[in-house]
Structure 1
Amino acid sequence: MLGNLTDQFWSYTTDGLALGAIYALVALGYTMVYGVLRLINFAHSEIFMVGTFAALATLNIIGLSAPVGGVALIGMVLLLAVVAGLVSGASAVALEFVAYRPLRRKGASRLAALISAIGASLFLQQLFARILIPWWFDLPKEKGALPIQEQFVTRTNLVEIGDFVVRNDKLVVFVGAVLMMVVLDQFVNRTRLGRGIRATAQDPETAVLMGVNIDRIVMATFAIGGAMAGVAAALYMMRFEETNYFVGFLLGIKAFTAAVLGGIGNLRGALVGGLVLGLIEMYGSAIFGSEWQNVVAFSVLVLVLMFRPTGILGESLQQARA
């Protein structure tokens, strides 16, 4: 088993980095909402799912006649990222407005918000499974119906040095995720809205006294987190080229695991946690078999919560300087 990892080490490494980059982008939504509201938004996984269908619908509307590569592939991914980011961001804002804001204004407990999140997650899953997917993709109205797989990527090896091979789709996923992380990090640390987000996370009562509009900050937080999930959805569609109404469930739990691994509430920790989790998953599947991949991921969550609950980096958005 260990020999399998040794023989294909670089292949598993590139696969792990590409997968971890997607986890990291989704984890940003969890970590931002938790940093500001101290709430685990379990419906965030369905925001990712919405983004995958927005990307798939865009592909169907464009109607590619042949797979694309090179500059055309980058342009296509940018288009999908913009569309999916806008749709997922808008969906996240609607989710906050319907499921969380009424509870927040009434001073409801965090448990009530958590139950609302789970209910919203189930609602979105069934809405897509029973209504939107059959209607848009003209499929039978049955639970679990899948959209037709779209093949639109010409996969080529960009770098080949012995066993070390870098494929174009994996590179685009990794570079795209890192760039989005850098942009978000600079946005939170250097812009006025970013200062408002950090101030609200640090001390919401004082932030209100200083003139910060909490509702605006919370809405912006959900919009940004949703947009990151949308970009992750576009990269996911380029990498795997298929989706279904349940696609966000398992991936969302793993993204939450990545957020906890890196340090929940820490933006840079989300990136580190996602990449580390992706690598651990791939290495674990090489050693124990692919059927143990999910077990390895969730074992990491248990171990982190047992021995280092603050995560790898530990510092949260609430502790960052405003």
Structure 2
Amino acid sequence: MDFYILAQQLVNGITLGSIYGLIAVGYTMVYGVIRMINFAHGDVYMVSAYVAAITLAVLHSFGVDSVPFAIISVLVVTCFITGVYGWTIERVAYRPLRGSTKLAPLISAIGISLMLQSYVQVAQGARDQGVPVLVSGALRFGTDKDFAQITYMQLVILVASFVAMAILTYLISYTTLGRQCRATQQNRHISAVLGVNTDRIISSVFVIGAATAAVGGVLVTFNYGSFNFFIGFVMGIKAFTAAVLGGIGSLPGAILGGLVLGLTEALFAGYVSTDYKDVFAFGLLIVILFFRPYGLLGRPEIQKV
């Protein structure tokens, strides 16, 4: 029945959109603070997939059989290691060029992206890698012939995404670090005069963005079971699109943009064709930006004179 097809595509779209939103947060946080795009962010997501697989293999070698413990351990280790990657990218690709033109850090970030791809390709090989299925089974609704289902792994993705975004919202809204991030976003120079260590805040933003990408990378890896050194490019473009769609610089906008993009892809793939779902999604982006140039929740920047 059409109802079950619609329900299934909504489940798939929300799951995919939550992943896009998590990764888009990294783009929007960096842009909100230093007004630059971290084009190496997608490859940090790619690195997180490999780190997750290696961590899982190490746990298995030590005889760890508990699935919840394994998932939580992989998330913690991967977030920490990719956070180090994010900190390094800021120190190497952005901080030395902060006073230059905006084009220089952009080129530097693209160079870091290509370097990470080549590094992983040489270190881990160019062939597709995989991880075993940790969470199997699904909840079905409907009859034997007409039904919709949500897999247990999709439930894990939705819960983990919600928890990650709740933690991030609390961090930005109610902690000292969050207040300093918001102050740095509004005016970096005045914040420095008032005693905020803006260099530390910018590094922290890169670390937080990398950690959210790591959560997405781990969840996608466990859901699909396979990955390669090139997955960061496609997912990075999709997440960047979600950030722009929602209004880059806005955390709620990144989440909303991810959900809109994920639902759009899923519904078009379910009702029309999977071959052209990306074309339709990017076409929708163009249409929305035509009427909302700053995104769904974005605000025009006011130039002070």
Work out whether the TM-score is over 0.5. Answer: yes
8 A Cα contact 1:263 1:310, kept in partner: yes
8 A Cα contact 2:20 2:259, kept in partner: yes
**How many angstroms does 1:300 deviate by?**
2.5
Q: In 1, Cα distance between the equivalents of 2:141 and 2:270?
A: 21
Q: In 2, Cα distance between the equivalents of 1:157 and 1:278?
A: 21
Q: Secondary structure at the match of 1:245?
A: coil
8 A Cα contact 1:24 1:258, kept in partner: yes
Pick the aligned partner of 1:230 from 214, 237, 240: 214
Matched residue, 1:126: 118
**How many angstroms does 1:75 deviate by?**
2.9
Percent identity for Structure 1 against Structure 2? 39
Matched residue, 2:203: 219
Q: In 2, Cα distance between the equivalents of 1:180 and 1:9?
A: 27
**How many angstroms does 1:127 deviate by?**
1.1
Q: In 2, Cα distance between the equivalents of 1:186 and 1:304?
A: 30
**How many angstroms does 1:237 deviate by?**
1.1
Counterparts of 1:311-322 in structure 2 under 5 Å?
311-315=295-299
- Alignment pair present for 1:187 and 2:136: no
Matched residue, 2:128: 146
- Alignment pair present for 1:29 and 2:30: no
Pick the aligned partner of 2:255 from 271, 274, 287: 271
Q: In 1, Cα distance between the equivalents of 2:284 and 2:68?
A: 34
Cα deviation digits, residues 42-88 of structure 1 (max 9, x gap): 1100110111110011122223899x8xxx43332212211111111
Matched residue, 1:102: 96
- Alignment pair present for 1:51 and 2:40: no
Counterparts of 1:188-203 in structure 2 under 5 Å?
188-203=172-187
TM-score by length of 1: 0.87
8 A Cα contact 1:50 1:87, kept in partner: no
Q: In 1, Cα distance between the equivalents of 2:87 and 2:289?
A: 30
Q: In 1, Cα distance between the equivalents of 2:231 and 2:69?
A: 25
- Alignment pair present for 1:301 and 2:298: no
- Alignment pair present for 1:63 and 2:60: yes
Q: Which amino acid aligns with 1:80?
A: V
Name structure 2 gaps, 5 residues minimum. Answer: none
Over 6 Å off, 4+ runs = none
Q: In 1, Cα distance between the equivalents of 2:277 and 2:3?
A: 17
Matched residue, 2:239: 255
RMSD of aligned Cα (Å): 2.2
Q: Secondary structure at the match of 2:38?
A: coil
What is the number of equivalent residue pairs in this alignment?
299
Q: In 2, Cα distance between the equivalents of 1:36 and 1:283?
A: 34
Q: Which amino acid aligns with 2:93?
A: A
Greater shift, 55-64 or 255-264, is seen at: 55-64
Q: Which amino acid aligns with 1:58?
A: T
8 A Cα contact 1:260 1:309, kept in partner: no
Cα deviation digits, residues 99-120 of structure 1 (max 9, x gap): 111101xx11111111111111
Matched residue, 1:156: 137
Q: In 2, Cα distance between the equivalents of 1:288 and 1:160?
A: 23
Matched residue, 1:85: 79
Q: Secondary structure at the match of 1:176?
A: helix
8 A Cα contact 1:21 1:274, kept in partner: yes
